Structure 1
Amino acid sequence: MTASSNTNPQTPTASRRDVLRRGATVTAATAAAMAAHPMVHANAASQDPNRKIKIGIVGAGGRGTGAVNDSFTINENIELVTVADLDQGNAERLRTGMQRRHGDKINIADDRIHVGLDAYKKVLEDPEVELVFLTTSPGFRPAHIAEAVAAGKHVFAEKPTCVDPAGYRVCVEAHKQAEKNGTAIVTGTQYRRQTNYVEAIKRIHDGEIGDVIGMTSRYCSNGIWYKNRGEGVSDTQYQLNNWMHFIWLSGDQIAEQAVHNIDLMNWVMQGPPVKAYGSGGRFTRPDDSEMWDSMSIDYLYSDERPVSFMCRQIPGTKAENGSTVRGTKGFAIIGAGSSGSRFLDRNGNETLKLEGSIADAYRQEHKDLIDSIRAGEPIVELIETANSSLTAVMGRLAAYTGKEVTWDFVTKESQLDLFPKDLQWDGSRPEPSFAIPGKTKLI
């Protein structure tokens, strides 16, 4: 969800506490809508392999547009009927661009374009919407997921699904509620549907490289976008428009971008780490950016298995993105994007090469989602992505504070809740600041 100085949405006040209260108990408007339109997991509705599924989207920026294009490229008999965003122009551009590509699969009337901080509620209250795409900046994700689940909607949620422990706990409860509802939650962790990743992990778990004893993973790139502040823009509007650079919205690079590799780490290790210890810093960020531009985290998994993880975004540096899994009998090298996977013996001789397409994986997650809804066997995979998102947060907290951080602490003790308690469209925000190890407290 993006914003700009030429938008004019409503100016509601939003707090996570209010949002979560609404997520726990369906609003009267949503309840009325659900009464008019039975829960989408009802057997009579779910087991028709050809029935039309109507979709709404919250967040019409680049990732939202990409999700719509991926889903509508691979699925038939689906229809996009409503969109919410902070920016009227974004919503209209998504409608126009997707109509060009997908024709009458895009059927959004003018009165079904909703704008403002609370515009997402209009999508959730729409009785025709069975599936909602949640593709705003990540800070909103836990509350949006919780409310979508409470409204009985199937969900596609982009990664990461949380940027702090408070959001993680919301996701855990939403996962449980979706299982009770019989409603799907598929997340934007496309590597879990990329053929070379799936086959490589299966072979690792089957013992192809022996017992896994450690791993190295890197997500190092050359920079990230930054948007200058426009004339007459409030603090809130500026931060929403420049969301990557504010931790309550993005979670820093380790959560927003590098979570893909961290998800792979947890997938290989068959669960989250026990603890994390790390470092990093900032050298090239704009003055008002809260982001660091590099982090190095040592994660320790069960059975004392170490994983060395690094991420950075520094212009002019060597990019590297991929992971190496070390076993007692050999190695597995799993590259990012479509670079494939390779298996080596202990002498470095290649024993297997696997190809895979990330573009196919992006589409496959949407096909699996739609197929599961129609089959009446909805996929609910939020907990895995929430665990990986919190693993990223755990590493960020270790680096930011200079402390060792345990999984028990972030899941059971941490009180960190980054979402503003009183978020107003025209409101002010605290002066941006960045973490300093030894001074930043572990909360």
Structure 2
Amino acid sequence: MKQIIQDIKSGGTILEEVPAPIVKRGQVLIQTTRSLVSLGTERMLVEFGKANFLQKARQQPDKVKQVLDKVKTDGLKPTLEAVFNKLGQPLPLGYCNVGKVIAVGSGVTDFVVGDRVASNGNHAEYVSIPQNLVAKIPDDVTDDEAAFTVIGAIGLQGIRLLAPTLGETVVVVGLGLIGLLTAQLLKANGCRVIGFDYDSQKVKLASEFGIIAVNPADGTDQVQYVESLTNGIGADGVIITASNKGNEIIAQSAKMSRKRGRIVLVGVIGLDISRADFYEKELTFQVSCSYGPGRYDEDYEQKGQDYPLAFVRWTEKRNFEAVLQAISQKQVNVTSLITEHVTLDDYDKIYGNISNSKAIASIITYSEKSEEPGRVIAINDGVFTGGKGILGVIGAGNFTSAMILPSLKKTPAVVKYIVSSGGLSGTTLAKKFGILNSATDYKNVLTDKEVDLILITTRHNLHAGMVVEALNAGKHVFVEKPLALNKEELDGILAVYGATQKTITVGFNRRFAPFSKKMKSLLGKGETPVNIVATMNAGFIPGNAWVHDLAIGGGRIIGEACHFIDLCSFLTGSKVKAVCMNAMGTNPDEQTDNASILLKYENGSNAVINYFANGSKAYSKERIEVYSQEKTLVMDNWRKLSGFGFKGFSSESSGQNKGHLDQFKLLVNSVQSGGDAIIPMDEIVNTTLASFAAIDSLKQGTWINIT
């Protein structure tokens, strides 16, 4: 299928060929017929993409500080690699999509194949969208009209926050597409609406809708104009839909408001607010969040958990439906807003000069397709000559892009497939790293007999099931940590693993780092017990991130601290026999990312893993201290190793190396040549059980033995 994307690195707007998405649980697959270009938002993305590095940095000063901190802790080279990797990820454009449902995922009850629907899908021939971001289109609303649903919901949510009543005077600052829709919805709500814009065409159009529209460029003082129309009272409410970096708009909005008036920001403006302006009138100010309640809530949008109507009357989906109803009842005129129709193939007529475009609403039209959408597309030509080591990568996220694929490129492996749920990220990486095929259905990889090794880099809840499927398909498996989220998943894997002659490797790369191997050689093979203090300054991750969701990410102890459990086991040369964990806070039933894990080993060694998320990002992220026989080793952030009491060794420094490349070299060689797994399976199982035991220990308040 074809999809419009913005290349952030080159600045180009591209019509990309990508595999069509598969319909997921809780989602509907839509074949697009129309999509609306949101000129304000998309112009901003296009212009950001075209900006040079310095201009991009000036627009994101907070990101610059993060980069400088990372240089201090990780070094210049890893930081630059991370920055360029991020810039190399294109952005899909568009969020106003109309089409026909062609497939329905499990758990969806509101839609059937054939329904005409509006959604926040991108400019793409096919989109798979969660059901709470999709609304049915009334029969008397055309596809052209329905394309305004989502952008109308943005304005409607601003109105809901303003809570206007019949007869109130409301000012709309900015009569672009959102402003014109907002003004019409306010008028339909029984308000007297005053609109301001510096574009005479938009002012004229607003006047035709019955809006009191004024162009300040004609010399009109906006504040005095509002006061004259309201007998000196001022506006009951102001909705700002404009985009402007200055602070003049917020100041004028305050001055034109009545005492205890309300101001809602829908657009993007400077917000250096004068306290005096707001204090004297006791004004309220609120920023509107996109389409309405539910936006950016993982449970609502991705898991389909609706808010009860009695408690949250207007969710984002119900706002979609309200806009469609307003269009159906002719309360809102959207056809007059359409400036042009452009076919998908002619997209550059819109984006080629978007910075200077005077269009109000541009509609992209899509040709009807009868054939089944393709889930695999060839990116590069390749012919295999016998040998093994042919890979399929399932997952195309940041870690795959930044670490896994660059490492694999330095090995003899041939990556035949990369799979991503939407198709775009996988296609981008396939082009960048010379991968032969981009796909959206991982089952195509499992059934390909040429593929020897499956790499699974998806979200954690998918790991165990995909490992089982890959083993059953006769493939070797590499899975990013964790292997499983609970004992039941682990048992399911072991039941299949025992009947195969295939290997499982978990991405415990730290044990393959040069400094880890150096420490191991200095310590010996585990004949003498050691004490280890390992610290992970993991960094704060917001509580609503998927890694904290126990059903999806499993929490950061199981999902990430397992790295250091494996590393400690590697350094001790032994297996964990008991675990005790203490955590910050008072509720042991909640997962934590501030905890100390005590590990007791079979050979008498002890280890303490301090996994903290409340430290400074300017401090080293990882640190290992090992104490043994009046000797000490200190490894600082994989850049320096110091030895105390060792003959012939005092210190060694290098660029940051966490062992990813060595791991994949060994892995590919083991698949091509045969032999033992690069990490013994019993050690992988022991580490996995130890991570489970840490959580059980916190809940039970006692040591947990590993059996």
- TM-score tier, shorter chain, comes to 0.5 to 0.7
1:186 aligns with 2:505: yes
Q: Structure 2 vs 1, CA of residues 397 and 191 (structure 1 numbering), >3 Å: closer, same or farther?
A: same
1:65 deviates by 3.0
For residues 40-439 of structure 1, what are the structure 2 equivalents within 5 Å? Answer: 51=387, 53-66=389-402, 68-76=404-412, 78-83=414-419, 85=420, 87-88=421-422, 91-99=423-431, 101-102=432-433, 105-108=434-437, 112-114=439-441, 120-178=442-500, 181=501, 183-206=502-525, 211-225=528-542, 242-282=545-585, 291-314=591-614, 316=616, 321-336=622-637, 338-345=638-645, 351-355=649-653, 359=657, 361-377=659-675, 379=677, 381=679, 382-408=681-707
1:80 deviates by 2.5
Q: 1:198-226: per-residue Cα shift (whole Å, max 9, x none)?
A: 1211221258xx93342211112331256
Structure 1 stretches (4+) deviating beyond 6 angstroms?
3-7
Unaligned runs of 5+ in 1: 14-47, 115-119, 228-241, 284-288, 409-443
1: CA distance between counterparts of 2:628 and 2:385? 43
TM-score (normalised: structure 2): 0.42
2: CA distance between counterparts of 1:334 and 1:301? 21
SS at match of 1:51: coil
Unaligned runs of 5+ in 2: 1-23, 30-102, 108-383
Identical amino acids, percent of aligned pairs: 18
- Structure (1 or 2) with the greater helix fraction: 1
Q: 1:47-88: per-residue Cα shift (whole Å, max 9, x none)?
A: x997364322222222333455234421246133351x4x31
- Indicate the residue corresponding to 2:33 in structure 1: none
SS at match of 1:74: coil
**Is the 1:194–1:360 Cα contact (8 Å) retained in structure 2?**
yes
Q: Which residue type is aligned with residue 462 of structure 2?
A: F
2: CA distance between counterparts of 1:340 and 1:224? 27
Paired residues, number? 332
Q: Which residue type is aligned with residue 575 of structure 2?
A: P
Choose between structure 1 and 2 for higher RCO, CA contacts under 8 A separated by at least 6 residues.
1
Superposition RMSD in Å: 3.5
For the pair shown, the structure with the greater C-alpha radius of gyration is: 2
**Is the 2:396–2:429 Cα contact (8 Å) retained in structure 1?**
no
Q: Structure 2 vs 1, CA of residues 379 and 4 (structure 1 numbering), >3 Å: closer, same or farther?
A: same
2: CA distance between counterparts of 1:359 and 1:213? 24
1:390 deviates by 2.1
2: CA distance between counterparts of 1:302 and 1:360? 27
1:399 deviates by 1.7
1:170 deviates by 3.4
Q: Structure 2 vs 1, CA of residues 369 and 292 (structure 1 numbering), >3 Å: closer, same or farther?
A: same
1:260 deviates by 1.7
Q: Which residue type is aligned with residue 323 of structure 1?
A: I
2: CA distance between counterparts of 1:191 and 1:215? 15
1: CA distance between counterparts of 2:403 and 2:636? 23
1:7 deviates by 7.7
TM-score (normalised: structure 1): 0.65
Q: 1:11-67: per-residue Cα shift (whole Å, max 9, x none)?
A: 247xxxxxxxxxxxxxxxxxxxxxxxxxxxxxxxxxx99736432222222233345
1:324 deviates by 1.4
